[in-house]
Amino acid sequence: MTVWVLGDQLSPDATPLQHDDHVLMIEAHAFGERLPYHPQKLALVFSAMRHFRDDLRERGYEVTYIEAETFADGLDRFYDAAPGTDLVMMDPPSHGAGERFRHLVESRGGSLTLVENDRFLTTPAEFDSWAGDAESYRQEHWYRHVRRETGILMDGDDPAGGEWNYDDQNRETPPDDWTPPEAPRFLPDDVTQEAIEFVRERYPAAWGSADEFVWPVTRDEARQALDHFVETRLTEFGPYQDAMLDGEWALCHSLLSASINLGLLTPHEVVEVVEDAYRDGTAPLNSVEGFVRQVVGWREFMRHVYRRSMPELADANQLGQTESLPEAYWTGETDMKCLSEAVGHVYDHGYAHHIERLMVLSNFALVYGVDPQELNRWFHLGFVDAYHWVTTPNVVGMGSFATDVLSSKPYASSGNYVNKMSDYCSSCPYAVSKTTGSNACPFNALYWDFLKENEELLRGTGRMGLMYSHVDRKDDDEWAEISARATEIRQMGRDGTL
């Protein structure tokens, strides 16, 4: 057997690599032209694959590494040289990918065995047995189930510290004189530099800057990034998890998603190292639990919800949203301080932290009325950690509320949320306290307009009662002004004058 290793399966301890020492890797290039992918995303994947190839060779594996236009072209070349070879691969999480690869291999006279993907903490069988026939799911229930089953952050039958969730300690904003610890920088070596040059030449339409590439491209670097996070940022990760600060793109976030999604780190080891920090007394429980929930709860949950909800999930649009993305998502040019910061972070780094993704980038698109599929494409092309299996449930499900399969209410808010969790509004030309009028914060009128427009679906949903009690207090004159301002803002979004 030969192990076919995909670009997001770069783990030397992956199960198939323990049984066979012949490896196939195909670096396919044409997919990078389907969307204007961020150059750091493309360079990261190509560089990490090339490093992994070299690492496997040093470990004694015989690696066939093919650079080709498509996987089909790569397999043609592979099977010309090695007819009839049987391949084994870890089942990729993106919908239908495994079967597509199997078809490509079989039509060239080989066979492809798909085995369990051990780059996740939980298996499809475990989730399916927990979920049964359910068609909608709640993360908190799944999270508690996994902790009970695995013993992660548990003291016997009870959650460590007695509570499942320490969110009430994790919504602080830093004091004015606070500066975040510096984010680790893994500067491009020759292999990465070559990948960046290749990407610059091959993909001139790519969206984003390749200038500040600092991502880990090997397992050693990813381990250093994990250790650096635990030593320097984990303690403040919890309290400042939801905060946003002018000029700061990373704050105390781990920046590990790209490494975990590539397979350079396993979720198991990440959680273990973080839990150890709590057990050693070097990190507080609210930060450790907050982080563990992201990985054990959200990441696993998203993977399984996606698996069970595709293909319908990708096309879901229960609110019937049809607007195109405002120009500012492409140019970053907007007076809206929060939006220009978040888009700028994506353009410069291929990254924005969770609250920027959820409460600025997708929240604004949601209340503005953006088509969820268009938003999903933007997230997919713009982020270094984006893969269809993880971007789609986060953007279409969580961010756009295009389906209620994974949450009972939309993550929609007015400018108040941004004002509470950031220092942006004080330096923004828009007034967060105003809903209508020429300098009123664009979030505000759009938010009320969104609630009004979607009243039929949302009024009875989840925990929306309080919001609709405010809706009910507005009179016809107020609604007319809100509607006019929302229309004006949408036009400004289209014109690029927001």
Ligand X SMILES: Cc1cc2nc3c(=O)[nH]c(=O)nc-3n(C[C@H](O)[C@H](O)[C@H](O)COP(=O)(O)OP(=O)(O)OC[C@H]3O[C@@H](n4cnc5c(N)ncnc54)[C@H](O)[C@@H]3O)c2cc1C
Q: Which of 79, 137, 215, 443 binds ligand SF4 (CB under 6 A)?
A: 443
**405, amino acid identity:** V
336 near ligand SF4, judged by CB under 6 A: yes
User: 């199960």: which residue's tokens?
Assistant: 15
Q: Read off the DSSP letter of residue 324.
A: P
235 is an interface residue for ligand X by CB under 6 A: no
Of 104, 398, 405, 446, which one interacts with ligand X (CB under 6 A)?
398
Nearest to 212 by CA among 244, 248, 189, 188: 188
Half-sphere exposure of 346 (CA within 13 A, CB side): 27
The answer to whether residue 424 forms part of the interface with ligand SF4 (CB under 6 A) is: yes
- Tell me the closest approach of the beta carbon of residue 244 to ligand SF4, in angstroms: 9
The reply on whether position 368 binds ligand SF4 by CB under 6 A is no
Residue 398 site contact among ligand SF4, ligand X, none (CB < 5 to 8 Å, cut-off depends on kind): ligand X
* Min dist. Cβ of residue 425 to ligand SF4 (A): 3
Residues whose CB falls within 8 Å of the CB of residue 255, separated by 6 or more in sequence, listed in order: 183, 184, 225, 229, 351
Q: Which two tokens stand for residue 365?
A: 């698109």
Instruction: Give all strands of the β-sheet with 22-28 in edge-to-edge order.
Output: 62-68, 22-28, 2-4, 86-90, 111-115
Q: Which of 29, 38, 304, 337 binds ligand SF4 (CB under 6 A)?
A: 337
Residue 338 interaction partner, one of ligand SF4, ligand X, none, beta carbon < 5-8 Å per kind = ligand SF4
Report what 248 binds from ligand X, ligand SF4, none; CB cut-off 5-8 Å by kind.
Answer: none
Choose the one of ligand SF4, ligand X, none that binds residue 362, judging by a C-beta under 5 to 8 angstroms depending on kind.
Answer: ligand X
- Which of 430, 447, 448, 450 is in the footprint of ligand SF4 by CB under 6 A? 430
Q: What is the 8-class DSSP label of residue 118? A: T
Cβ-based neighbours of 23, under 8 Å, separated by 6 or more: 2, 3, 4, 5, 17, 56, 61, 62, 63, 64
Looking at 9-17, 271-279, 298-306, 462-470, which segment touches ligand X (CB under 6 A)? 298-306
Nearest to 454 by CA among 409, 387, 394: 409
| Beta bridge partners of residue 24, listed in sequence order | 4, 64
> Least distance in Å: CB of 335 to ligand SF4?
8
For position 365 contacting ligand SF4 by CB under 6 A, the verdict is: no
Site for ligand X contains 390 (CB under 6 A): yes
> What distance lies between CA 70 and its chain's CA centroid?
25
Q: Which does 418 bind (CB under 5 to 8 A by kind): ligand SF4, ligand X, none?
A: ligand SF4
Tell me the pairing of strands 62-68 and 86-90. unpaired
Which range, of 86-94, 98-106, 303-311, 435-443, touches ligand SF4 by CB under 6 A? Answer: 435-443
CB distance 226 to 270 below 8 Å: yes
Q: How far apart are CA 365 and CA 268, in angstroms?
A: 34
Q: Which is nearer to ligand SF4, 285 or 425 (CB)?
A: 425
Whole-angstrom distance, CA of residue 429 vs CA of residue 439? 7
Q: What's the rounded Cα separation, in Å, for the pair 19 and 61?
A: 11
The contact pattern for ligand X, residues 261-290, with x = CB under 6 A and - = no contact, is x-----------------------------
Stretch that binds ligand X, among 69-77, 162-170, 177-185, 377-385 (CB under 6 A): 377-385
Q: Where are the alpha helices (DSSP H) in 109-158?
A: 124-131, 139-150
Contacts (Cβ under 8 Å, ≥6 apart) of 140: 164, 165, 297
Asked if residue 340 binds ligand SF4 (CB under 6 A), the reply is no
Could you give the CA distance from residue 223 to residue 265 in angstroms, rounded to a whole number? 7
Minimum CB distance to ligand X, residue 229 (Å)? 7
> Judged by CB under 6 A, does residue 367 bind ligand SF4?
no
Please, which residue, 305 or 489, has the CB nearer to ligand X? Answer: 305
Sign of CA dihedral 36, 39, 40, 44: positive
Q: Which stretch binds ligand SF4 (CB under 6 A): 4-12, 149-157, 347-355, 424-432?
A: 424-432
442 lines the binding site for ligand SF4 (CB under 6 A)? yes
What is the closest distance, in whole angstroms, from the C-beta atom of residue 82 to ligand X in the complex?
Answer: 35
Report the C-alpha gap between 408 and 406 in whole angstroms.
7
Cα-trace Rg, the chain? 23
Residue 244 interacts with ligand X (CB under 6 A): yes or no = no
Sites of contact with ligand SF4 (CB under 6 A): 336-338, 415, 418-419, 424-425, 428, 430, 432, 441-443
Residues that bind ligand X in the complex, under the rule CB under 6 A = 253-257, 260-261, 291, 294-295, 298-299, 302, 353-354, 357-358, 362, 379, 383, 385-386, 390-391, 394-395, 398-399
